């Protein structure tokens, strides 16, 4: 491993208030980036903001952009009128 600091699955489970099984499932689905070391997973500490929702990932940003675009397309005039009020 590099100079990166890591959390174990147990530590992350405690931080998030979920079970280790939940952490393993999220790793398997790709929701949590982890490195496999032997039979264990290590989660880089720099991933924690994304995991805890303090930072948006690219997929989340695209989803928000789509929702904003759709809202503007559907309700743009109404939003403009509300802004003028």
- Express each pLDDT in 8-59 by its tens digit: 999 999 988 999 999 999 999 988 999 999 999 999 888 877 677 666 667 7
Query: According to the model, what pLDDT value does residue 57 have?
Result: 67
Query: According to the model, what pLDDT value does residue 1 have?
Result: 41
Give the CATH number of the domain where residue 50 resides. Answer: 1.10.10.10
Element (H, E) at 41: strand 40-44
Residues 28 and 63 in one domain: no
**54-77 mean pLDDT:** 84
Residues 45 and 7 in one domain: yes
Residues 60 and 50 in one domain: no
Judge if pTM exceeds 0.85: no
| Structural domain span for residue 31 | 1-54
SS3 category, 40: strand
Neighbours of 32 (CB within 10 A): 22
What is the rounded CA–CA span in Å between residue 41 and residue 58? 23
């Amino acid at each position: 491993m590099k100079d990166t600091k890591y959390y174990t699955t147990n530590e992350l489970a405690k931080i998030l208030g979920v079970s280790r099984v939940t952490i393993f499932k999220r790793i398997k689905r790709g929701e949590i980036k982890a490195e496999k070391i032997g039979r264990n997973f290590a989660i880089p500490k720099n991933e924690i903001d994304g995991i805890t929702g303090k930072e948006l990932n690219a997929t989340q940003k695209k989803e928000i952009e789509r929702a904003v675009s759709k809202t503007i397309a559907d309700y743009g005039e109404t939003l403009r009128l509300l802004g003028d009020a």
